[in-house]
Chain A
Amino acid sequence: ETGVTQSPTHLIKTRGQQVTLRCSSQSGHNTVSWYQQALGQGPQFIFQYYREEENGRGNFPPRFSGLQFPNYSSELNVNALELDDSALYLCASSLTWDSETQYFGPGTRLLVL
């Protein structure tokens, strides 16, 4: 157990819809990173939030956005869902932005039909 939780565990959406995924970090961790993991592949970095501001972004379009709240919770929002957005979405919390160790949640599996 890493102390990082995510909700929901599974989600089914239709193409064009919007989705919000939630993550609760370890207490005291001011940094959260989000990753997308397509089936059979390694995770890909979406973005990182540090003290409620975006602190780095991977190669993902602007329809992927996030929020981080002072209570160690965060959200990943995806607009205009596409079939290729079907994946496992993982959040990871760390003590601060350049901490070596990230603690991963169990993930949310999103299916876009």
Chain B
Amino acid sequence: SQQGEEDPQALSIQEGENATMNCSYKTSINNLQWYRQNSGRGLVHLILIRSNEREKHSGRLRVTLDTSKKSSSLLITASRAADTASYFCATEDNAGNMLTFGGGTRLMVKP
């Protein structure tokens, strides 16, 4: 079963616009991670935020975490056509040995 839901399931924007994806989860977590996947290939780790952190930045990425609402958001600023991919959130529980993924957001950035 999947831990959480991602919203929206699909997003289409123009190059230069910002893209925001949301993730909700159900149980207590150790950390939450965001991954990117191009065309059904392997997953690329983007950013990790720990349960005691509220916001984190990495280049054009900004992640927020609200443990009281069990939700996270990923913001990609100034999007590029190369950002076109599926984005997944994944939570690591306190046992620390598995990731539970959401269903993903399919982002299309039009040039």
Interface residue range, chain B: 20 to 34
Tell me if B42 and A100 are in contact (CB < 8 A).
Answer: no
Complex contacts, B90 vs chain A, CB 8 Å = 42
| Contact partners of A37 in chain B: CB under 8 A | 40
Q: Does B20 contact A (CB under 8 A)?
A: no
B85 proximal to A (CB < 8 A):
no
Task: Indicate whether A98 sits within 8 Å of B97 (C-beta atoms), given known contacts A41-B2, A42-B102.
Answer: yes
Q: Are the C-beta atoms of B48 and A59 separated by less than 8 Å?
A: no
Chain B residues lying within 8 Å of A58, measured Cβ to Cβ, are: 98
Residues of A within 8 A of B100 (CB): 45
Residues of A in contact with B, size category: 20 to 34
A45 & B98 in contact (Cβ 8 Å cutoff): yes
Given contacts A45-B99, A90-B42, A97-B96, 15 further A-B contacts (CB under 8 A): A2-B44, A4-B42, A33-B97, A37-B40, A41-B2, A42-B103, A43-B88, A43-B101, A48-B97, A55-B97, A90-B43, A101-B45, A104-B43, A106-B42, A107-B40
Q: List 26 A-B contacts (CB under 8 A).
A: A2-B42, A33-B98, A33-B99, A35-B99, A35-B101, A37-B40, A39-B40, A41-B2, A42-B101, A42-B104, A43-B43, A43-B99, A43-B101, A44-B1, A44-B2, A50-B97, A55-B97, A56-B98, A90-B43, A92-B43, A98-B97, A100-B31, A100-B33, A102-B45, A104-B35, A104-B44
